[in-house]
Amino acid sequence: MPSHFTIKSISRRMLWVMLLCSIATLSLSAQPAGISVSVKDVTVKELLKQIEAQSGYTFAYANSQIPLDRRVSVNAVDMSVEAIIAEVMPEVSVRTEDKKILLSPRKKNKDNKKEKENMRQTVTGTVYDENGEPVIGATVMQRNTSNAVTTDIDGHFTINVGGSEPTIRVSYIGYTPSEVKAIVGKPMKIKLKGSGINLDEVVVTALGITREQKSLGYAVSKVSSDELNNSVSGNWLNNLNGKVAGLSTVGGASGPTGSMRVVLRGDQSLNYGSNEALFVVDGVPVSSGDVGTGSGGMSNTDATVDFGNGASEINPEDVESVSVLKGPAATALYGSRAANGAIVITTKSGRDTKGVGVTVNSSVTFEKAMRFPKFQKVYGPGNDNGYKPFAAWNFSKTEAPEGFESGRNASRYSYGEAFGYGKLRNQFNSYNWLTGEYTLTPFEYADDWYSGIYETGTTYKNNVTLTSNNGKGTSARVLITDTRNSWIMPNTGYQNQTVSASFSTKMGKWVKFNAKVNYLHKTSDNTPVTGYSTSSPTYYIVWGLTSNSMRLYKDEYFSGRVNSANYNGGCKDGLGMVNSLGNSQPGNPYHQLYEATNSINKSRVYGAMNLTIIIPGKRPDS
């Protein structure tokens, strides 16, 4: 009996162990073996197909509940399906039945937040600069952690982050750090902006020598090319205002080609032409004073024509930087001509480019006259005797209509008799030159008597830049610019064609050669006379008749009657138009703009060449 009982007990125990092993085997067979998969930027749907192919299992899910179009990257080695799914879709739960893997949205509970915080997610992306170039070696870090990676040669990065709402911080020397919310399943594009702070900022002093700004023992200000070209102005020198302490620009009322005075720290001399700063372009001094025909007294016909100066004609598209030197330092570097300071301009070269490049820029600028004076509209032109019916014309005694005296009233004064509804007077357009008859016209205020001559000005500018850099110390740059301006007054404006070229190369190990040349060709059919002069078109506008539309002046000139309509006694039998000034000068501003022109046709070439010997151990000229 005992022996039989023992054998029976052992048999039952072995049967129980075998049953447990079978159950365990069944349980293990319900889970697919470890999966190894490596994919980059694929959809969840594509990833599931690869897992099905390896495991022999089939996924079951509702399309509307699973983010099948989400793009993910996975690098898994012998990982479970649950772990892979949790990495790419943390919001999805996994359950295995027979040969199927069931996917469904994870039920929300109190533990979900904690699970999500502990879960690692893969974030990929690329870091660019403001020019769209990849930033190599930028630091990509999850905020408030030590988890960080760096971008590769293409600016790409891959980082595993944790937490419910992870934020990554991207930083690089010379750029402003950027913090963005991490995006899982979609490649990120992160742009870094320049901080505007250079660790080794240099400025150009005399003879083209560059030095670190912090090493200089005198005051110097620097303005970059971007600062000059960010705003639009008729003259690029206006863009220096507000960017350099103590600098002011003053331009005369001399049209689009006029000179521009640049003064540092105020006027130092009572002599008007002895206060301007000296301009130096690539080591070559350039005129910055007024360039005109001379001067004349008030109401004199010999007034100044401003043909512009060299400083205002510098092409801003060609400027790389502007260094402003003030005080005794400028005098020490450039002599007595820089007693009022020096503005040192360095033009662009091709050394900052890679390979061969072509850039084309086009722009159009519109300008209009603004802020006209406010004029009274109650009283018309004339003197204290009023505006007689034929006051605008003079007659011989034999031609005077019956009942009208042959004299006239000077009509340049603005307070004559009051305007009134129904009042008729003989005015500028009363006489019919074909029939010889007079027609009285309404004595009313003309809104365009002053502003009607001004038009919308336009400036068209086209630039073509060619650059080349072989990466071995040789670079070149050519800029061709065509500018065409039609100013706000009729028959005024200019055309500019400029060509600038620079070349730099290394001649051996210690010698560097640089050459720059600039060419300007400027033409203008008419440059308006400046000042209070009878040769200036605005002189006649100021003294014009407030009852006379500017359109009538225009029609009269283009009808070919200017010689008759604008001179006293210039018509047959002594009949003539009394101009607004009561003198022998033409009173029609269109006559002045189209007949008394001041043309420009000039060419200018300047440049410099230098040979630099690099002393070993010293910083070479850049």
Q: pLDDT, tens digit, for every residue of 464-515?
A: 999 998 877 788 999 999 999 999 999 999 999 999 999 988 887 778 898 9
In the chain, the number of structural domains is: 4
Confidence of residue 286 (pLDDT cuts 50, 70, 90): confident
CA atoms within 13 A on the CB side of 329: 15
Is residue 334 a part of any domain in this protein? yes
User: What pLDDT, on the 0 to 100 scale, is given for residue 254?
Assistant: 67
Based on the fold, state whether residues 294 and 330 are members of the same structural domain. yes
The Cα 467–Cα 484 span in angstroms is: 25
Is residue 605 a part of any domain in this protein? no
Q: Is the pTM of this model over 0.85?
A: no
User: What pLDDT, on the 0 to 100 scale, is given for residue 137?
Assistant: 82
14-18, 91-95, 437-441, range with the lowest pLDDT: 14-18
Domain region containing 293: 202-346
Give residue for tokens 């002046």: 553
The residues that bridge with 189 in the sheet, in sequence order, are: 126
Is residue 392 a part of any domain in this protein? yes
Based on the fold, state whether residues 92 and 122 are members of the same structural domain. no
The Cα 200–Cα 173 span in angstroms is: 12
Say yes or no to pLDDT of 363 above 80.
Answer: yes
pLDDT digits (tens, 9 = 90+) for 75-110: 877 777 887 888 888 888 888 877 888 888 876 554
- 508 in Cβ contact with 614 (< 8 Å): no
Is residue 229 a part of any domain in this protein? yes
Residue type, 32: P
Say yes or no to pLDDT of 155 above 80.
Answer: yes
Say yes or no to pLDDT of 529 above 80.
Answer: no
Based on the fold, state whether residues 61 and 139 are members of the same structural domain. no
Say yes or no to pLDDT of 149 above 80.
Answer: yes
Is residue 423 a part of any domain in this protein? yes
User: What pLDDT, on the 0 to 100 scale, is given for residue 24?
Assistant: 39
Say yes or no to pLDDT of 341 above 70.
Answer: yes
Say yes or no to pLDDT of 203 above 60.
Answer: no
User: What pLDDT, on the 0 to 100 scale, is given for residue 289?
Assistant: 61
User: What pLDDT, on the 0 to 100 scale, is given for residue 583?
Assistant: 44
Say yes or no to pLDDT of 10 above 60.
Answer: no
Say yes or no to pLDDT of 236 above 80.
Answer: no
User: What pLDDT, on the 0 to 100 scale, is given for residue 576?
Assistant: 40
Based on the fold, state whether residues 328 and 226 are members of the same structural domain. yes
* Rounded mean pLDDT, 114-131: 75
| Helix, strand, or coil (residue 11) | helix
Is residue 422 a part of any domain in this protein? yes
Based on the fold, state whether residues 274 and 313 are members of the same structural domain. yes
Q: What is the CATH number of the domain that holds 53?
A: 3.55.50.30
Is residue 46 a part of any domain in this protein? yes
The Cα 587–Cα 577 span in angstroms is: 9
Based on the fold, state whether residues 307 and 430 are members of the same structural domain. no
Based on the fold, state whether residues 180 and 207 are members of the same structural domain. no
Say yes or no to pLDDT of 293 above 90.
Answer: no
The whole-chain average pLDDT of the chain stands at 74
User: What pLDDT, on the 0 to 100 scale, is given for residue 434?
Assistant: 79
- 283 in Cβ contact with 209 (< 8 Å): no
Is residue 321 a part of any domain in this protein? yes
Based on the fold, state whether residues 276 and 388 are members of the same structural domain. no
Based on the fold, state whether residues 323 and 269 are members of the same structural domain. yes
